[in-house]
Amino acid sequence: MIHTDITSFEIACKVLNREAVLPDVSKMPSALGKYLTDHTKLITIIEAMNFVEENWKPDYFRQNEKFSAWPDVESDEQRPGGFALSDAHYDYVLTFTGVGSRLQTKTSKMIVWAQEQFPDLFISNYLIIE
């Protein structure tokens, strides 16, 4: 299995040998509940993608490459607020607080593929949608 085989939250959960359970957000405002649900799905998918690629994990105590998606907000007819991939970058020593380590992958190809495969989850993670 390779990272492109992770095509859903449910498959990611199977790869990680865990139940496909999402947080109970029934008492939260809908926009916050959607964000928390989508964020849970996204970090699970990224974790599974890294797992099938040699069980890789970001390590901030050693110098190793970690790739993050950085969106660029562009508008179009479908999304007047806009959203697109701006950059996939890596860092050795310097870390940014804009993207948490749970959303980082071993290679730039992996994070670009994830954003193309799961655009709605990334949109929910980076933009406030009401």
CA dist 63 and 66 (Å) reads 9
Residue at 12: amino acid letter = A
How many domains in the chain?
1
Tell me the per-residue pLDDT of 77-98, one tens digit each, with 9 for 90 and over. Answer: 766 665 555 555 555 444 444 5
Query: Torsion over CA of 97, 55, 22 and 81, rounded to 10 degrees?
Result: 40
For the chain, percent of residues with pLDDT exceeding 70: 68
Domain that holds residue 37: 3-126
pLDDT category of residue 2 using cuts at 50, 70 and 90: very high
Question: Has residue 57 got a pLDDT over 60?
Answer: yes
